[in-house]
Amino acid sequence: MELTISETAEAAGVSAHTLRYYERAGLLRAVGRAGSGHRRYSERDLAWIDFLTKLRSTGMPIRQVRRYAELAWAGEHTEPERLALLEAHRDQVRAQLAETERCLARIDFKIDTYRERNPSA
């Protein structure tokens, strides 16, 4: 069950342009090809694309995603390093989340002051 680039893009919630870009950027390896030269994505590809979009949407830079991908391709012995990379990222995301929440509290406070003065809105 192999998917075309547009099917994969649809499924992953990114554009076909982005999928090609990711491949060029070293985030995807050895995407299969149909006889016509067109890309065909396997379920494993899709699972990885799905995970990498999670890394991306938590703000992991492309470079670091590539690093993670390269470790994964290098074999099982890199699991400790992959773990460390993911844990470091998680910590950063949590810190960022906390920071955002603090800022949001300030904004909420401001909203309250407006509401008090503009009861109707």
Residues found near a copy of itself in the complex (CB under 8 A): 51, 54-55, 57-59, 79-80, 82-84, 86-87, 89-90, 93-94, 97, 99-101, 103-104, 106-108, 110-111, 114-115, 117-118, 120-121
Q: Which of 34, 79, 80, 27 is nearest to 55 (CA)?
A: 27
Nearer to a copy of itself, 24 or 109 (CB): 109
- By CB under 7 A, residue 58 contacts DNA: no
User: Position 63: which residue type?
Assistant: R
Residues 28-57 that bind DNA (CB under 7 A): 35-39, 56
Tokens of 109: 């406070």
- Amino acid at residue number 51: F
What is the C-alpha end-to-end distance of the chain, expressed in Å? 53
Partner touching 46 among a copy of itself, DNA, none, CB below 5 to 8 Å by kind = none
Answer with the entry of DNA, a copy of itself, none that 5 interacts with (C-beta below 5 to 8 A by kind). Answer: DNA
* Closer by beta carbon to DNA, 39 or else 89: 39
**106 CB-near residues (< 8 Å, 6+ apart):** none
Kindly state the tokens that stand for 106: 């300030």
Q: Residue 21 is which amino acid?
A: Y
- To a copy of itself, the closest distance from the beta carbon of 85 in angstroms equals 10
